[in-house]
Chain A
Amino acid sequence: MKMIDVISSIVIIGFSIFVSLESISMSLGTLRSPGPGLYPLILGLILGGLALLLGFLTLFQPASRPRVRHHAGQVWAIITTLLAYTVLLPSTGYVIATLLLLGPLFKVGGIRSWFYTGLLAVLFTVATEIFALVFRIPLPRGTIWRIMFPELFPV
């Protein structure tokens, strides 16, 4: 955990350097007439200072117990599934993308039966679709839907 703290401090210092350099490239102006870069430069410098202090203090602290990771693989499976979902959503639309999303999510959660996985996916998709209709939330219909039912999407 100590090494992780040191690494996170280094990453934050790197980020603060990036912010500071980007800010300098904008107009800093003067104190009398502050430019757009002044405020983020101040923040970048403060962040760098805090991260340096954090890293320094971490070196003198005893190593804390590492957080035990149980299911990192499942976490990355969820992330991958959600990334695929965001890619599919505009083209396939909400209903198809959500059906495809929920199956892997239920499997990751530990539901073994394919029947129940499919049933829950359909139920959730229908329920949330009705919910969106009631509250008039226009969910993405996707390119496929637009091609099949062009009359629903007048130009």
Chain B
Amino acid sequence: MFYGFSVALQPANLLFAFIGVFIGTVVGVLPGLGASGAIALLLPVTFGMDPVVAVIMVAGIYYGTMYGGSTTSILVAIPGEAASVVTVIDGYQMARKGRAGAALGICAFASFIAGTLGVVFLSFLAPLLATVALSFGPPEYTVLLVVGLISASFLATGSKLKGLVMVVLGLILGVVGIDPISGTQRFTFGTIYLLDGFNFVVVVMGLFGISEVLITVDEGAEEASLFPTSTRLRDLLPNRQEWRDSTVPILRGSLVGFLLGLLPGGGAIMASFISYAMEKKLSRHPEKFGTGAIEGVAGPEAANNSATAGAFVPLLTLGIPFNAVSALILVALMIHGVRPGPLLISEHPEIFWGVIASMYVGNLMLLILNLPLIGIFVQLLRVPYPILFPLIIIVTVIGTYSVDNNALDVLCMLSMGIFGYLLRKVGFELASLALALILGPLLETSFRQSLILSHGSLSIFVTRPVSGGLLALFVAVIVGWLLWQGWSNSRLATTRRSLQIGP
């Protein structure tokens, strides 16, 4: 590790770590641009660089986007990244209460602490955890995703049943397009546009960005300008109570995020909403979630940042990328003649330990870079809403158009915005739908692969040790929760009866 720091702290490497983190933060803030797109665009720039420098910069972009995505989630309820969808729920409510600075501050600190812990876990546990990650097959994935999506319904502050409806609706929207196994068109109605299914960025910008504008205008755009804002330093950062409330969620989120980041696909996304559901379950005041509970921001932010460290485990130790960004980092390494895998530590220790140390340095840079920006970001809320909302609409239009340079995407975004507005008017919440939309295709592929593997037997989900264990754990948690609810309610009823009995 000391060798890694000796590499990471070289001036050139520090500079490129800063550039990567800065670009990543900007990319994360801007809706429509994602880490994958930014890295793909900048990959040619790294051709002439030293491999250590190239990977350090690219890794900086990755975790910079994780932090940047939460900024727009908190300020204007538009998630800049898929993993920031959950941050909208309580982060935006904190902003409405005048605690935008505290929310942004806790995101910065949670990202730093979680990133640091993730690096520690990575340093000591990488080879062991890589083996565990490889034991996850389609049945394990199916069970994990089902458990995760049911947990996602608990993101809803209102009716959990409505939350489940939104999850299933999101899964159905994820079916639109070409079936990945048979190639059959499903729910495309003969249109070319829907052959690729719904683009997540387009849907999210409509569901969250446009619908939020419509809801706010419906409730009175001029009243929306009265978000209380303060520029005093102590109001820009979390206070002592908020720190106390956030500490344990950050630690839990870091662990959950790192473990889920090991898994292929939507590790960071799943990590953020499982962390949220967990914090809501464990909180003494679950009713506060959805109204601006800082635990609902701290935990998921820690989880999604720690998951980026987890995603490096299979990449560096096995040479297997488990998501699009890791695949691009693998490409960056291979371009420079470096093949990640079990021999990376022995053949290129400067790359392995240099990348790990640079992640720590990069997280520190994120904190130093973004803390002063909090005051600037919070000023955005002082802009009167009648002036702000057209700008939000235009930025979402640009972000949507930038996805595929297709005007039909703008129409799709608008349609989703109207759809989201109508759903919210009748009391449905959108976070579960968005998450199910991302994870639905992965769930279907895993489910069908599992059935093919088992020759049609559903018992595969129970008989395999990992999936069976996950199912048993989930059932135990649900039963335990139901029993606890029953016991709490009966105690409450008993207390009420005893209070009515007088001397």
Q: Which A residues are within 8 Å of any B CB, using their own CB?
A: 1, 4-5, 8, 12, 19, 22, 26-27, 30-40, 43-44, 46-47, 50-51, 53-54, 57, 67, 69-72, 74-75, 78-79, 82-83, 85-86, 89-90, 98, 101-102, 105-106, 108-111, 120, 124, 128, 131-132, 135, 137-140
Contacts and interface: CB of A to CB of B under 8 A. Distances in A.
Given A39-B444, A47-B168, A50-B161, A106 B186 contact: no
B218 A75 contact: yes
Contact of A12 (B165, B171, B210, B448): B165
Given A4-B426, A86-B414, A43 B172 contact: yes
Contacts of A70: 218-220
Contacts of A75: 214, 217-218, 421
Contacts of A27: 182, 184
B154 interface: no
Contacts of B165: 12, 47, 50-51, 54
A47 B172 contact: yes
27 contacts: A31-B451, A33-B452, A33-B456, A34-B447, A36-B179, A39-B447, A40-B175, A40-B186, A47-B169, A70-B219, A78-B213, A85-B397, A86-B414, A89-B410, A98-B397, A102-B394, A109-B389, A109-B390, A110-B221, A120-B390, A124-B394, A128-B394, A128-B395, A131-B398, A132-B402, A139-B401, A140-B407
Contacts of B175: 39-40, 43
A39 B443 CA distance: 10
Contacts of A1: 427
A83 B414 contact: yes
Contacts of B425: 4, 67
Contacts of A124: 390-391, 394
Contacts of A39: 175, 444, 447-448
A57 B398 contact: no
A44 B217 contact: no
A140 B387 contact: no
B368 interface: no
Contacts of B397: 85, 98
B220 to A, nearest CB: 5
Given A75-B218, A109-B387, A34 B448 contact: yes
A109 B221 contact: yes
Choose among B186, B447, B455, B457 the residue with the greatest number of A CB atoms under 10 Å from its CB.
Answer: B186
Contact of A50 (B164, B426, B451, B456): B164
Interface in B409-450: 410-411, 414, 417-418, 421, 425-428, 444, 447-448
Given A32-B455, A78-B213, A137-B401, A102 B390 contact: yes
Contact of A86 (B172, B389, B411, B451): B411
Contacts of B222: 110
Contacts, number: 159
Choose among A51, A85, A109, A135 the residue with the greatest number of B CB atoms under 10 Å from its CB.
Answer: A109
Choose among B161, B220, B407, B458 the residue with the greatest number of A CB atoms under 10 Å from its CB.
Answer: B407
Interface string B202-232: 0000000010011001111110000000000
Contact of B214 (A79, A83, A106, A137): A79
Contacts of A86: 407, 410-411, 414
A21 B222 CA distance: 46
Secondary structure type dominating chain B contacts: helix
Contacts of B448: 34, 38-39
A31 B458 contact: yes
B402 A137 contact: yes
A36 B186 CA distance: 8
A139 B409 CA distance: 13
B217 A36 contact: no
Interface string B165-189: 1001101100100010110101100
Contacts of B455: 32
Given A86-B407, A128-B398, 5 more contacts: A33-B452, A102-B394, A105-B393, A120-B387, A135-B33
Nearest to A44: B172
Nearest to B445: A39
A105 B390 contact: yes
A89 B401 CA distance: 11
B137 interface: no
Nearest to B428: A8
Contacts of B219: 70-71
Contacts of A35: 182, 184
A18 to B, nearest CB: 10
B480 interface: no
A39 B186 CA distance: 11
Contact of A54 (B30, B162, B221): B162
Nearest to B395: A128
> Which 3 A-B residue pairings sit nearest by Cβ, starting from the closest?
A109-B386, A32-B456, A31-B456
Choose among B159, B168, B181, B385 the residue with the greatest number of A CB atoms under 10 Å from its CB.
Answer: B168
A106 B164 contact: no
A110 B91 CA distance: 27
B186 A71 contact: no
Contacts of B458: 31
Contacts of B221: 71, 74, 108-110
Contact of A71 (B159, B161, B218): B218
A127 B26 CA distance: 17
A90 B162 CA distance: 38
Contacts of B451: 31-34
A129 to B, nearest CB: 9
B119 to A, nearest CB: 31
B386 A110 contact: yes
